[in-house]
Amino acid sequence: MIKLGTSMPEHLIGTDPGAFKEFLQGVEDLGYNYVTIGDHILGADLTNRPEWRPYLGQPPLYDVHTPWHEPMVLFGYMAAITKTVEFSTGILVGPQRQSAVLAKQAAEVSILSGGRIRLVLAAGWNDVEFEGLGVSFEDRGKILEEQMVVMRLLWNQQTVNYKGKYHTLDDVGICPLPPQQPIPIWLGGQSKVAQRRVGQLADGWFPYYPCLDPVEIGADWENIKRHAIAAGRDPASIGIEGAIYFYDPRFPMPTTGIKQPQTLDECVDYAHWWKKFGASRYWVTAPWANLGPEETGVRTTGKKWTGVEARLRALEEFKNAVGKDF
């Protein structure tokens, strides 16, 4: 069975704690397994950066006006109002954060939630954030690799000794240790370097492509498996998270790409494609209900829009359509 998850509609919910609670409890009642929370600490004022192209040579995905909630703080709130749903970062820019602090935060969430946390990390693409946080943008990938080692040591050992290029731990540890062993660390990204990291270090892979290209993703997964075998790991131990992809007009559609799903039936077909591919998790959004990543669905006149009711209806439709045996 695949675990089903979805993203928190945080951009539209804004600062309404009641809407967060309504959404989370609704997702749990529907039987979804996890909810993802995005992560950006700083946004840039694009009026002063007209030529800035930070995302693979393309304009950025968000700016200083886009709301992003702090995942680890929000997870503490989520732990108090839910019972079964798992909390996942999706995706947290790990190298921006001090590793011991992040390990301590994740351990605390694990304690409060009864072991319902998963970290999905990536190296990041926004140089403005790294500059503002005082972290080397050029070294972010290498920092991430050490960070994963350091956090796992801190979660599993009361006293840690570690000497790396970016981290030094000399007879130190966090207390209390998390009850959840191990806390899963998945990685995003689909570059060749990211694929190597997944194969060597990650518990799972959450790629995000501008569109689904079976030829490309198949080749990338084979590359990950080669790196896993070279590192002495069983590729079957690495999870895969599938998703409904949306067309990104900033990038050309590859000749072997699949048209993005629009109808409910097409989204169900996508889900079964990912299951056949080997996915153990599936991230659901609802283009048939006009609910994409930013969820620009129809507003009701006179009613504050949070996207909660429309999203929950769509998630119920998908779960019914994909069937109990998915």
Express each pLDDT in 95-121 by its tens digit. 999 999 999 999 999 999 999 999 999
Domain shared by 217 and 295, yes or no: no
CA angle 188, 159, 91 (to 5 degrees): 15
Domain boundary among 244, 259, 274: 259
Closest CA to 194 of 142, 233, 134, 230: 142
38 located within any domain: yes
CA distance linking residue 118 with residue 189, whole number of Å: 17
Q: Give the per-residue pLDDT at 100.
A: 98
Q: Give the per-residue pLDDT at 307.
A: 74
Domain shared by 18 and 98, yes or no: no
Domain shared by 203 and 291, yes or no: no
Taking residues 182-208, what's their average pLDDT? 96
Q: What tokens appear for 56 in the block?
A: 């693979």
Domain shared by 185 and 90, yes or no: yes
Summarize pLDDT for 158-176 with one digit per residue, the tens: 999 999 999 999 999 999 9
Taking residues 173-191, what's their average pLDDT? 95
Domain shared by 182 and 92, yes or no: yes
CA distance linking residue 2 with residue 326, whole number of Å: 6
Least confident segment among 20-29, 100-109, 168-177, 250-259: 250-259
Over 60: is that where the pLDDT of 296 sits?
A: no
Least confident segment among 82-96, 123-137, 245-259, 295-309: 295-309
Residue range(s) defining the domain that contains residue 44: 30-259
Domain shared by 14 and 121, yes or no: no
Strands 3-7 and 204-206, by their bridges, are: unpaired
Over 90: is that where the pLDDT of 322 sits?
A: yes
CA distance linking residue 109 with residue 96, whole number of Å: 19
Q: Give the per-residue pLDDT at 270.
A: 92
Closest CA to 114 of 20, 175, 183, 173: 183
Hey, is 139 helix, strand or coil?
coil
Report the predicted TM-score, pTM, of the whole model to 2 decimal places. 0.94
CATH assignment at residue 129: 3.20.20.30
Looking at the structure of the chain, the number of domains it has is: 2
Domain shared by 313 and 252, yes or no: no
Over 90: is that where the pLDDT of 9 sits?
A: no
